[in-house]
């Protein structure tokens, strides 16, 4: 049964009046019933009088109906407010561990997860946007703007490295979008108190998560076959002059520091080594184990204070291993042990292995070039 007023929606409100032995009825949809003052006896009587009166009531409208000729208020201030508030909360959550460690702890706390914090930020933005046209295309576009604003602020005020921000940007955007989509589902109807409790709960989890982490040491291993005997290769790995080839790896070409030379105090345990990277970055090392023509292991005792590395990862140890092959060739195996301090571990470990692999290949390919001369 259709509504007698709009003739479109299904009638769910049924009005009945009985006077004497006569019964009058009117069937309305929920929207039309809400916009009519059914508490007014005169309008209630008119509503039951027949089609002509219904048409008059429909034309007269109701005081709560919007004036279609009135210009709509701009929605961009609320979109922008959601972006900025979400980014501000995200910044505060990332800044909190540093402030807390300065106040209460002598050791710095780890950076909160790039999985949890952006989700909280996206939910907050979605709450501000809940009364707008929260269609999927607007959510996708505006979380992209949120990502750009957050990265710009991190560059200008936190002095984060460009390469670091480039690595972070994909997961930052995806997690912001995930939070915004989750908020879109939560706040699609009128938010309840339970819905609103999700925000502080997630924020607490995001701040507490770093305290539950256990450092895990990982290793990346690469190898290259050199057409030279171990005796000739060994002379090229203890130290090497400046690598003449320009970097080929795409992140090196974008500005990530890359190895250019190595110096060593001598071929003995506890000898000091210096692995020199571009942009005046120097890794200070100390020989931990040396077996001529077979193995060279060194501890990394100090890393450069480069924004691409600082607080994100610790390189612990490096090693060159020589394995002689039939035919007078040598397999050179390069290994680096490291610990990551940022999460999610699986995501940043992929990037770390990608970068350390490029470092290994640059050094070992130069060793190969010089040994094969």
- What would the pLDDT profile of 98-125 be if each residue is shown by its tens digit? 665 545 444 455 677 888 899 999 999 9
Which CATH architecture describes the domain 217-371? 2-Layer Sandwich (3.30)
What confidence category does residue 56 fall into, taking pLDDT thresholds of 50, 70 and 90? very low
Q: Where are the domains of the chain?
A: 13-60, 76-212, 217-371
Highest mean pLDDT among 71-85, 113-127, 357-371 belongs to 357-371
| pTM of structure | 0.72
Do residues 230 and 324 make contact, with C-beta atoms less than 8 angstroms apart? Answer: yes
Cα separation of 110 and 91, whole Å? Answer: 15
- pLDDT digit string (tens) for 144-162? 999 999 999 888 876 777 8
Token couple for 78 = 């609320």
Angle subtended at Cα 166 by Cα 135 and Cα 304, rounded to the nearest 5 degrees: 150
What confidence category does residue 11 fall into, taking pLDDT thresholds of 50, 70 and 90? confident
DSSP 188-230: SSPPPHHHHHHHHHHHHHHHHGGGG----EEEEEEEEEESS-H
């Amino acid at each position: 049964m259709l509504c007698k007023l709009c003739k479109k929606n299904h009638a769910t409100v049924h009005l009945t009046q009985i006077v004497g032995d006569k019964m009058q009825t009117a069937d309305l949809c929920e929207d039309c019933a809400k916009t009519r003052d059914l508490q007014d006896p005169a309008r209630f009587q008119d509503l039951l009088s027949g089609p002509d009166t219904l048409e008059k009531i429909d034309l007269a409208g109701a005081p709560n109906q919007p004036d279609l000729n009135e210009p709509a208020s701009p929605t961009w201030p609320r979109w922008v407010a959601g972006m900025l508030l979400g980014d501000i909360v995200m910044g505060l959550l990332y800044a909190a561990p540093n402030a807390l460690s300065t106040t209460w702890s002598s050791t710095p706390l780890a950076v909160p997860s790039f999985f949890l914090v952006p989700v909280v930020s996206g939910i907050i933005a979605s709450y501000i946007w809940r009364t707008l046209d929260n269609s999927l295309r607007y959510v996708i576009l505006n979380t992209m703007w949120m990502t750009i604003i957050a990265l710009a602020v991190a560059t200008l005020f936190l002095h984060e490295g460009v390469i670091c921000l480039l690595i972070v940007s994909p997961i930052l955007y995806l997690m912001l979008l995930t939070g915004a989509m989750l908020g879109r589902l939560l706040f699609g109807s009128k938010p309840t108190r339970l819905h609103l409790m999700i925000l502080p709960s997630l924020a607490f989890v995001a701040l507490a998560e770093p305290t539950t982490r256990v450092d895990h040491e990982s290793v990346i291993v690469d190898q290259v076959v050199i057409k030279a005997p171990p005796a000739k290769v060994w002379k090229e790995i203890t130290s090497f002059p400046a690598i003449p080839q320009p970097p080929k790896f795409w992140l090196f070409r974008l500005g990530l520091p890359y190895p250019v030379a190595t110096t060593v105090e001598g071929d003995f345990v506890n000898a000091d080594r210096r692995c020199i990277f571009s942009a005046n970055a120097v890794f200070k090392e100390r020989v931990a184990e040396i077996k001529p023509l077979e193995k060279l292991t060194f501890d990394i005792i100090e890393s450069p204070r480069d924004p691409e590395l600082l607080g994100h990862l610790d390189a612990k140890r490096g090693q060159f291993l020589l394995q002689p092959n039939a035919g007078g060739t040598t397999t050179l195996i390069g290994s680096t042990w490291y610990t990551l301090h940022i999460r999610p571990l699986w995501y940043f470990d992929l990037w770390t292995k990608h970068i350390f692999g490029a470092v290994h290949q640059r050094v070992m390919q130069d060793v190969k070039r010089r040994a094969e001369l």
